[in-house]
């Protein structure tokens, strides 16, 4: 190899060493999921138990149908209740087997977070060349957040979107901006994050016009493009809400006062304080060390760096303001007045805090930029903060947390309660439920089942047609019909009655004897006083019950015990019953 080529390669490596180093760190963060595959661990609640609508949609052949019904869950479910056909996650499940779709989605989400934060910081937050390593470090920190990847780019893609919006504001790179904006709409959720992003952009555009009296047509056009793209991608939701004869939704019965969400003004203060310090687990930001270490140091030392300092203070005020808004949404005043409006009652307006992760990591970058300029020790302090934050974030990767617990008996994980130490493969238990399918020996579409102590997501994942399920929107009439099956059980347990009647998104069989729904094999639980209405069960087409706990009084419930299924490695065991 010629000497010039070798020198040029070495020069390139030297000039890009920060990019290579921090890219390697991101790969190290993601590697356990790629290496372990179905032996890797993931959040179950609102994650693994939430992917089956895409699995069902992909198998149905109705992904792009606007109308019609779906038969596999919750009876005869209108197509508009399931995810958009114009969503990247839907396409992944159409193209790939479920686990590969899940894994590819996870890798895409974290990669886009990394690239988007780098571009935003490099061009609009810390443009000076000497800050390049700080930009790569912050981009890595943001990209190693444990995102709920079932929400796509709703949070992880915000830096890339705002990079495109700022480009449009300054009339730059319009072709790439259009591509980014359309992809974001195709890969995120309008009700979860998009509506708040559009509101923020709209308010900023009005403020900008009021202050400068300049028509920024490219910027307004970018906002219009995002709005129009969401209209296309969320056409099923729009059709359900505004265009179809529709049905009365289960969300009509959400009663936040009965659920105990209403608090006094004093009662929301701890909620606000906790959100400022810890954030909220659906929009996880893991920023408490940024807030308690980096921010005070930057505020004390950075007042001479007026541009960064002013921007830092503005974002801190915004972050705290969002937390205050988040808390005030739980006041009795708001909840009681919102209850009068079906839309406000069901719409979770506090989700504006989904902007927090983006804000906190831009704050982190600004703090690092200020601190790095402290004479003599600035770069060392910035490096120490980066090491501390990245170490904290890696410790909140479930696989690294399990390794730390095993080898060092320590844990720094913040939301450990979300993880149940069950791998993807253990959760869905392919071979165990294949045995159940083989034993029944009938086409799955010919009968209906319900589960006890087993997430219906598991049986739906394996193609069973279930009367139970978990979905944000489904017909209220079906909820009432299903309730008849469990009416006596709900009468015996106030917690489950309140949860089912006043929330109802989780349409499960809730035995009064259970304090928690999921039952593992190791619990050795028995249901001794179960009282189900089997006629109501049969009226909905039900024939089989799969229970994770033995039902000792199955005969009194009009059931016939067929078989117990278990495997040594499995966390579940299944008792199969048939309605007589």
For residue 372, which phi and psi values (nearest 5 degrees)?
-60, -20
Rg (the chain; Cα; Å): 26
Comparing 200 with 340, the larger pLDDT belongs to 200
Kindly report the CA angle at 383 between 25 and 390, in degrees rounded to 5? 40
The neighbouring-strand residues paired with 364 are none
Specify the pLDDT at position 3: 54
Q: Which of 283, 262, 277 is nearest to 320 (CA)?
A: 277
Specify the pLDDT at position 66: 84
Residue identified by tokens 């289960």 is: 250
Residue identified by tokens 């105990």 is: 260
pLDDT by residue (tens digit) across 26-37? 999 999 999 999
State the Cα–Cα distance between residues 399 and 384, nearest whole angstrom: 24
State the Cα–Cα distance between residues 36 and 281, nearest whole angstrom: 25
pLDDT by residue (tens digit) across 481-516? 999 999 999 999 999 999 999 998 899 999 999 887
Annotate 495-553 with DSSP letters as a single string.
HHHHHHHHT-SEE----TT-SSS---GGG--EESS----HHHHHHTTEEEEEESSEETT
Q: Which of 64-68, 226-230, 546-550, 553-557 has the weakest average pLDDT?
A: 64-68
State the Cα–Cα distance between residues 322 and 275, nearest whole angstrom: 9
Residue 223 CB neighbours (<10 A):
19
Specify the pLDDT at position 299: 93
Cβ 458 vs Cβ 433: under 8 Å: yes
Residue identified by tokens 């090491």 is: 387
Label each residue of 62-76 as H, E or C. Answer: CCCCCCCEECCECCC
Specify the pLDDT at position 13: 45
Residue identified by tokens 């990019």 is: 19
Q: How many CA atoms lie within 13 A of 196 on its CB side?
A: 21
Residue identified by tokens 């209403």 is: 262
Cβ 303 vs Cβ 256: under 8 Å: no
pLDDT by residue (tens digit) across 149-192? 999 999 999 999 999 999 999 999 889 999 999 999 999 999 99
Q: Measure CA 487 to chain center.
A: 32
pLDDT by residue (tens digit) across 224-256? 999 999 999 999 888 877 766 678 888 888 888
Instruction: Give the tokens for residue 231.
Output: 């209209």
Q: How confident is the model at residue 7 (pLDDT cuts 50, 70, 90)?
A: very low
Q: Is 125 exposed, middle or buried (0-12, 13-18, 19+ CB in 10 A)?
A: buried
Q: Which of 387, 381, 411 is nearest to 398 (CA)?
A: 411
Instruction: Give the tokens for residue 341.
Output: 């409006």
Q: What is the mean pLDDT of residues 100-109?
A: 97
Across the chain, mean pLDDT equals 91
pLDDT by residue (tens digit) across 120-132? 999 999 888 888 9
Going by DSSP bridges, is the β-strand pair 559-566/573-579 parallel, antiparallel, or unpaired? antiparallel
For residue 348, which phi and psi values (nearest 5 degrees)?
-95, 85
The neighbouring-strand residues paired with 547 are 452, 575
Specify the pLDDT at position 407: 85
Cβ 296 vs Cβ 387: under 8 Å: no
Q: Which of 428, 440, 434, 431 is nearest to 563 (CA)?
A: 440
Q: How many CA atoms lie within 13 A of 519 on its CB side?
A: 25
Specify the pLDDT at position 187: 96
Q: Provide the 8-state DSSP code for 87.
A: S
Cα dihedral: 498, 501, 504, 507 (round 10): 100
Helix, strand, or coil here: 566? strand
Specify the pLDDT at position 12: 46
Q: Which of 367-376, 396-405, 413-422 has the weakest average pLDDT?
A: 413-422
State the Cα–Cα distance between residues 206 and 201, nearest whole angstrom: 9
Specify the pLDDT at position 5: 52
pLDDT by residue (tens digit) across 261-315? 888 888 899 999 999 999 999 999 999 999 999 999 999 988 888 888 999 999 9
Going by DSSP bridges, is the β-strand pair 69-70/77-78 parallel, antiparallel, or unpaired? antiparallel
State the Cα–Cα distance between residues 565 and 547, nearest whole angstrom: 10
Cβ 105 vs Cβ 92: under 8 Å: yes
Specify the pLDDT at position 10: 42
Q: Which of 151, 168, 61 is nearest to 110 (CA)?
A: 151
Specify the pLDDT at position 466: 96
Q: Is the pLDDT of residue 145 over 90?
A: yes
Predicted model pTM: 0.93
Tally of residues, the chain: 580
Instruction: Give the tokens for residue 150.
Output: 């079932």
Dihedral of alpha carbons 554, 555, 559, 561, sign = positive
pLDDT by residue (tens digit) across 295-308? 999 999 888 888 88
Helix, strand, or coil here: 267? coil
Cβ 308 vs Cβ 302: under 8 Å: yes
Percent of the chain, pLDDT > 90?
70
């Amino acid at each position: 190899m010629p000497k010039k080529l070798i020198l040029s390669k070495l020069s390139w490596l030297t000039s890009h060493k920060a990019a290579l180093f921090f890219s390697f760190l991101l790969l190290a963060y993601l590697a356990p999921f790629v290496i372990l595959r179905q032996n890797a661990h993931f959040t179950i609640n609102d994650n693994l138990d939430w992917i089956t609508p895409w699995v069902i949609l992909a198998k149905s052949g109705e992904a792009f149908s606007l109308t019609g019904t779906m038969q596999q869950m919750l009876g005869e479910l209108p197509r508009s209740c399931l995810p958009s056909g114009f969503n990247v996650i839907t396409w992944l499940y159409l193209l790939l087997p479920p686990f590969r779709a899940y894994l590819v989605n996870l890798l895409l989400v974290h990669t886009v977070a990394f690239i988007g934060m780098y571009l935003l910081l490099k061009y609009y937050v810390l443009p000076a060349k000497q800050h390049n390593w700080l930009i790569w470090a912050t981009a890595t920190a943001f990209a190693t957040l444990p995102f709920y990847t079932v929400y796509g780019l709703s949070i992880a893609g915000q830096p890339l979107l705002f990079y495109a919006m700022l480009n449009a504001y300054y009339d730059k790179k319009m072709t790439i901006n259009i591509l980014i904006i359309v992809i974001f709409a195709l890969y995120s959720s309008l009700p979860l994050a998009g509506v708040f992003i559009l509101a923020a952009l709209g308010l900023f555009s009005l403020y900008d016009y009021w202050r400068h009296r300049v028509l920024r047509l490219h910027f307004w056009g970018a906002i219009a493009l995002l709005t129009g793209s969401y209209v296309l991608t969320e056409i099923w939701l729009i059709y359900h809400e505004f265009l179809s004869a529709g049905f009365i939704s289960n969300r009509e019965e959400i009663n936040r006062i009965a659920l105990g969400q209403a608090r006094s003004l004093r009662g929301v203060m701890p909620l606000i304080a906790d959100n400022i310090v810890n954030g909220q687990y659906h929009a996880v930001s893991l920023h408490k060390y940024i807030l308690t270490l980096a921010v005070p140091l930057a505020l004390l030392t950075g007042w001479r760096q007026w541009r960064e300092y002013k921007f830092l203070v503005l974002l801190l005020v915004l972050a705290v303001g969002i937390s205050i808004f988040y808390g005030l949404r739980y006041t009795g005043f708001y909840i009681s007045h919102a209850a009068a409006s079906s839309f406000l009652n069901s719409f979770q307006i506090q989700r504006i805090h989904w902007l927090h992760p983006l804000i906190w990591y831009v704050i982190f970058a600004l703090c690092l930029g200020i601190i790095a300029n402290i004479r003599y020790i600035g770069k060392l302090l910035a490096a120490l903060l980066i090491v501390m934050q990245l170490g904290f974030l890696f410790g909140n990767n479930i696989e690294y947390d399990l390794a730390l617990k095993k080898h060092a008996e320590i844990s720094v994980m913040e939301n450990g309660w979300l993880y149940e130490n069950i791998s993807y493969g253990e959760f869905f238990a392919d071979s165990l439920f294949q045995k159940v399918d083989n034993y029944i020996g009938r086409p799955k579409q010919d009968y209906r089942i319900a589960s006890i102590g087993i997430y219906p997501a598991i049986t739906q994942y394996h193609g069973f047609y279930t009367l139970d399920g978990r979905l944000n929107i489904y017909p209220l009439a079906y909820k009432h019909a299903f309730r008849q099956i469990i009416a006596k059980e709900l009468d015996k347990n106030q917690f489950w009655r309140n949860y089912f009647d006043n929330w109802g998104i989780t349409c499960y069989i809730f035995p009064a004897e259970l304090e928690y729904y999921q039952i593992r094999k190791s619990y050795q639980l028995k249901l001794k006083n179960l009282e189900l209405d089997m006629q109501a069960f049969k009226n909905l087409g039900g024939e089989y019950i799969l229970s994770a706990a033995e039902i000792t009084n199955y005969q009194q419930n009009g059931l016939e015990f067929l078989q117990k299924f278990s495997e040594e490695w499995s966390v579940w065991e299944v008792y199969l019953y048939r309605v007589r």
